[in-house]
Amino acid sequence: MKNVAVLGATGLVGEEVIKILEQRNFPVKELFLFASGRSEGQTRFFKDNEIEISNDLDPLIKKANIVFGCLDADLSREIIPQFKGKGVVIDNSNAYRMDPEVPLIVPEVNPEKARDHKGIIANPNCSTIQMVVALYPLHKARKIKRIFVATYQSVSGYGRDAITELKYETECMAMQQMVDKYEGSVFAYPIANNVIPQIGSFDELGYTTEEMKMVNETRKIFDDETIQVTAICVRIPVMIGHSEAVSVDFEQPITPDEAKQMLKDAPGIKLFETDDKYPMPLFSVNRDLVFIGRIRKDLVFENGLAMWIVADNIRKGAALNAVQIGELLV
- Is 241 within any annotated ligand binding site? no
- Is 310 within any annotated ligand binding site? no
Alpha-carbon distance 214 to 219, whole Å? 9
Residue 157 is which amino acid? G
Q: Examine the residue annotation and report whether 233 is marked as an active-site residue of this protein.
A: no
- Is 255 within any annotated ligand binding site? no
- Is 11 within any annotated ligand binding site? yes
Q: Examine the residue annotation and report whether 70 is marked as an active-site residue of this protein.
A: no
**Which of 70, 117, 233, 242 is labelled catalytic?**
242
Instruction: Give the residue among 35, 31, 27 at the shortest CA–CA distance from 18.
Output: 31
Pairing of strands 144-153, 120-122: unpaired
**Which of 126, 139, 172, 233 is labelled catalytic?**
126
Instruction: Give the residue among 305, 203, 182, 210 at the shortest CA–CA distance from 254.
Output: 305
- Is 87 within any annotated ligand binding site? no
Asked whether the beta carbons of 9 and 29 are under 8 A apart, the reply is no
Question: Maximum CA pair distance of the chain?
Answer: 59
- Is 12 within any annotated ligand binding site? yes
- Is 156 within any annotated ligand binding site? yes
User: Would you mind telling me the total number of residues written for the chain in this entry?
Assistant: 330
Q: Can you list the alpha helix ranges (DSSP code H) found in the chain?
A: 12-23, 58-63, 73-79, 126-142, 160-174, 209-222, 256-264, 320-329
Alpha-carbon distance 123 to 32, whole Å? 20
- Is 284 within any annotated ligand binding site? no
- Is 153 within any annotated ligand binding site? yes
| Cα Rg, the chain, nearest whole Å | 20
- Is 13 within any annotated ligand binding site? yes
Q: Which residues are annotated as a binding site for phosphate?
A: 97
Q: Which residues are annotated as a binding site?
A: 10-13, 38-39, 97, 153, 156-157, 235, 313
As annotated, the active-site residues are: 126, 242
Q: Which residues are annotated as a binding site for substrate?
A: 153, 235
Q: Which residues are annotated as a binding site for NADP(+)?
A: 10-13, 38-39, 156-157, 313
